[in-house]
Structure 1
Amino acid sequence: MSEPRESRYKWALVALLSGAFFFHQADRALFGLLTVPIQAELGLTDVQIGWINTVLSWTLALMTVVAGFVGDRFSRKWIITVSLIAWSLMTVCMGFIGGFAGALFFRSVATGVGESFYAPSAYALIAAHHKRTRSLALSIHQAALYAGLMFSGVLVAHALGFLGGWRQVFIAFGLAGTLLGILFVFALKDEPSAARPRPAAAAAPKAPLAEGLAAYFRNPSALCATAGFVAIVFVNNAYLFWAPKFAALKYSLSVGEAGRGVMFGHHLFALAAILLGGVLTDRFVRRMPRFRLGFQIAALLCGAPALAALGFAPTYSGMLAAAAVYGVFRGFFEVNTHASLFDVVPPRYRSTAVGLLTMIAFFFGGLSGIVLGGLADRYGVRGFEAGFAVMAGVYVLGALAMAVSFFFTFNKNRVVEQ
């Protein structure tokens, strides 16, 4: 591909993959937004809904490691394309389920497997096409994640009014993603030839798996960073899976109104915090190496009261305000998630460390679906209120774990790069 054509295509690639990532995240939010009508028709308990969400997280945890391995060895164009079409078709199948077993298979297992293969190959493909513009390209792609979450509630509210039921919404979302996947067959290209590894580079020895595992599990600062991220994922999953239903029940709202409110404002403030947090961190971390870590600890401690306030807010507007504040501190933490891990893990082992971080966070973070489901099944709205208070406690525990690194181990484990 000539240089002018490649220059044009690399931005078309970002646009295409941003569209896929939008559907990736909107689809992830879809089940939580439609929980109320799904339960009403299928007779599912909150515990069963919790298991559906938890098994989805466990599937993502397990398959992300496999997806990273596959993405380094096969065509990324076809991995992304097949992934998009697969999860979209499974979303269509959700429109025809008859009970718990169908939801568990099509939502938690089949959709989860399809979604897990997207991100590792998408990030790598963008990086291959973008050298000098890599940060900007990845930022645009990442913004699509928040756009999908922000606008999912708005889209579902309109789709319910237009299409008439939750089954039709799943089918419509799935068909839209399938059509985009068919476009990818013709429009998506693999990395340019200049970005492909040369034979000598391809034959270069990679770090043995045992070394990578040791670099992670024998590194107390890496484990502390993981504990903080587990807290973030645990709470994020609880909010994504249960906040729409909680708002609808507590404040007597329609499904569309509740989903639109809790999804849009929270993720808008989180996105703004990520953009601001990146600038702040880059400014101070050169002079104060522990600034990033301290910034994350402060974000968890400040976010905890907002989570408690979210659960016990007497009015819907109060809940939305608390959700916005929680979004700000969530964003301040998430902008530094991988950077703080890289501060203490040598470059040779970072891919392994990211895979382990993601797997552990999604495995333990997925348990929040069962926790809130069990509390809601037993105590109703009061169970949700208590559940978000528990989420505040999880943030505090995450901050305490990261404080161990800040005060005792960070300087010893810190990796200094030239």
Structure 2
Amino acid sequence: MTIKSKKYYKWEVLGLLWLAFFLNQADRQVFNVVLPLIQDDLELTDVEMGMIASAFILTLALCVPFAGIVGDLFSRKWITTLTVIFWSIATVLTGLSMTPMHLVLFRSVATGGGEAFFAPANYALIAQYHKRTRSLALSIHQTSLYAGVVISGFLAAYIAEIWGWRSSFYVFGAAGVLLGIIMIFRLKDKREVVQDADIPITQKKPDFFKILALMIKRPTFLLLTLAFAGMVFVNIGYLTWMPTFLYEKFNMSLPKAGFVSMFCMHGFAFIGVILGGRLSDKFVMRNRNIRLLLQIVGMFVGAPFIVLMGLGNTTILVYIGLAGFGFFRGLYDANIYASLYDIIEPEYRSTASGIMIMFAFITGAASPMILGMLKPTLGLTNAIALLSILACFSAACIFIAMKFYFKKDYYHGLEY
């Protein structure tokens, strides 16, 4: 591979992983969008639907620390490629479900377990290929989450209304299998070198408990993990119940509720995440705190918009709430892994990502069920508004990390 082709190949890698993460998020969102149709067809209660969604997140959370270790030990190309194919097949099987147990098995266990092994290796592979463009690359990659939930929100509902909810799972699952086959031939692992010499770096064998002990000794890691847990709790609760909220409160059609609930937030999050990534890469060499500052602003200023999107009594007010939180949430999202990698050595980043994701998703797994339990009493209006407390909590954790610990925990390796 020539120098010029190497220069452009890192963007091809980003493109392939963008598409993979797009389908990752789309496969998750299909369930949320067609939730009312599944509920009616299989005669499930709100709590049962919440428990199925929570089981998915819990499975993902329990598997992801092992996924992090695997991502540091073995080929990240094959981990990402095989997991795309695995969860896509599980998505197709979800469409064949006839009972709640089938949904738990195919949706919660198989799909959730498959997706768990994708994230740590995926982010670490992007970080390997992108040094000076890391925040920008991770920001662009994050837009696939927004595109995935927005496009799938509309398409899944549209397909479900015409051909039934099962067809939505068939379509997105088949697309994932096709992408996985393409990745087999196009995706390559990145070999690290020392000072541009063609000498591979010897990979340290990760010891999970040793790394966990190392992470615990770094308060910045613990606080960033707590902040991420708060954000994940908000995000999972919103993604699961917002289409139903609009469907029931404003009598929207299912395709419109699925599209609007995702587009208003993620359309503006797209702007926020690109802006956040550009600002981080531009100013990080002058001010190492910039990534943390952007995350604090994103969560703290975004919190009032969560209240508005829950309590707004007109669609316009709800749309403003969705758009406002989406934009500021984008500033936070742009720096989730870039700020984490500022304090973690390269050889441990997949494992560290896995540990952080595990804790966050174990916490967030309770969100759909808790909102489902609050729905009959407080209503989704108040339940969604209460999520703003978690956004403020996240901002506070990052502020404490920045103020007291980040300077000491900063990784001083020669990456730039």
Q: Does 1:327 align with 2:349?
A: no
The question of whether the paired residues in 2 share the 8 Å contact of 1:18 and 1:144 is answered with yes
Percent of paired sites with the same residue:
41
> Which region of structure 1 is more displaced relative to structure 2, 139-148 or 129-138?
129-138
Post-superposition offset of 1:318: 1.6
C-alpha separation in 1, matches of 2:140 and 2:287 = 28
Letter aligned with residue 160 of structure 1? A
Post-superposition offset of 1:43: 1.2
Superposition map of 1:106-125 within 5 A: 106-125=106-125
User: Which residue does the alignment assign to 1:190?
Assistant: 188
> Which region of structure 1 is more displaced relative to structure 2, 202-211 or 356-365?
202-211
C-alpha separation in 1, matches of 2:405 and 2:117 = 34
User: Which residue does the alignment assign to 1:174?
Assistant: 173
C-alpha separation in 2, matches of 1:158 and 1:357 = 35
Letter aligned with residue 242 of structure 1? W
Post-superposition offset of 1:203: 4.8
- The Cα offsets for residues 295-346 of structure 1, whole Å up to 9 and x where unpaired, read as 3223222111111111111112221210110111111112222233344456
The question of whether the paired residues in 1 share the 8 Å contact of 2:120 and 2:353 is answered with no
C-alpha separation in 2, matches of 1:3 and 1:405 = 40
Q: Does 1:47 align with 2:47?
A: yes
Cα RMSD between the aligned structures?
3.1
Post-superposition offset of 1:224: 1.7
C-alpha separation in 1, matches of 2:223 and 2:233 = 15
- The Cα offsets for residues 35-81 of structure 1, whole Å up to 9 and x where unpaired, read as 11111111111111111111211222222222233334444444333
User: Which residue does the alignment assign to 1:388?
Assistant: 384
Q: Does 1:96 align with 2:92?
A: no
User: Which residue does the alignment assign to 2:395?
Assistant: 399
Post-superposition offset of 1:111: 0.6
Give the TM-score taking structure 2 as reference length.
0.87
Post-superposition offset of 1:374: 0.8
Letter aligned with residue 333 of structure 1? Y
Letter aligned with residue 395 of structure 1? A
Post-superposition offset of 1:220: 2.3
> Which region of structure 1 is more displaced relative to structure 2, 168-177 or 76-85?
76-85
Post-superposition offset of 1:133: 7.1
- The Cα offsets for residues 220-277 of structure 1, whole Å up to 9 and x where unpaired, read as 2322222111111110111111111111111111111100101112111111101112
Relative to structure 1, is the Cα distance of residues 132 and 54 closer, same or farther in structure 2, using a 3 angstrom cutoff?
Answer: same
C-alpha separation in 2, matches of 1:219 and 1:132 = 25
The question of whether the paired residues in 1 share the 8 Å contact of 2:142 and 2:273 is answered with no
The question of whether the paired residues in 1 share the 8 Å contact of 2:232 and 2:364 is answered with yes
C-alpha separation in 2, matches of 1:351 and 1:360 = 15
Post-superposition offset of 1:91: 1.2
Letter aligned with residue 151 of structure 1? I
Superposition map of 1:151-166 within 5 A: 151-161=151-161, 163-166=162-165
Relative to structure 1, is the Cα distance of residues 100 and 368 closer, same or farther in structure 2, using a 3 angstrom cutoff?
Answer: same
Give the TM-score taking structure 1 as reference length.
0.87
The question of whether the paired residues in 2 share the 8 Å contact of 1:44 and 1:99 is answered with no
Describe the SS at the equivalent of 2:252.
coil
C-alpha separation in 2, matches of 1:199 and 1:7 = 16
C-alpha separation in 1, matches of 2:135 and 2:289 = 23
> Which region of structure 1 is more displaced relative to structure 2, 33-42 or 15-24?
15-24
C-alpha separation in 1, matches of 2:134 and 2:293 = 27
Aligned residue pairs total: 412
> Which region of structure 1 is more displaced relative to structure 2, 167-176 or 26-35?
167-176
The question of whether the paired residues in 2 share the 8 Å contact of 1:215 and 1:345 is answered with no
- The Cα offsets for residues 86-140 of structure 1, whole Å up to 9 and x where unpaired, read as 2112111122212211111111110112222233344455566677877766554
The question of whether the paired residues in 1 share the 8 Å contact of 2:139 and 2:277 is answered with no
The question of whether the paired residues in 2 share the 8 Å contact of 1:47 and 1:373 is answered with yes
User: Which residue does the alignment assign to 1:257?
Assistant: 256
Post-superposition offset of 1:177: 2.1
User: Which residue does the alignment assign to 1:71?
Assistant: 71
Letter aligned with residue 223 of structure 2? C
Superposition map of 1:161-310 within 5 A: 161=161, 163-185=162-184, 187-191=185-189, 201=200, 203=202, 205-206=204-205, 208-310=207-309
User: Which residue does the alignment assign to 2:367?
Assistant: 368
C-alpha separation in 2, matches of 1:281 and 1:5 = 27
Describe the SS at the equivalent of 1:97.
coil
The question of whether the paired residues in 1 share the 8 Å contact of 2:227 and 2:394 is answered with yes
Letter aligned with residue 231 of structure 2? I
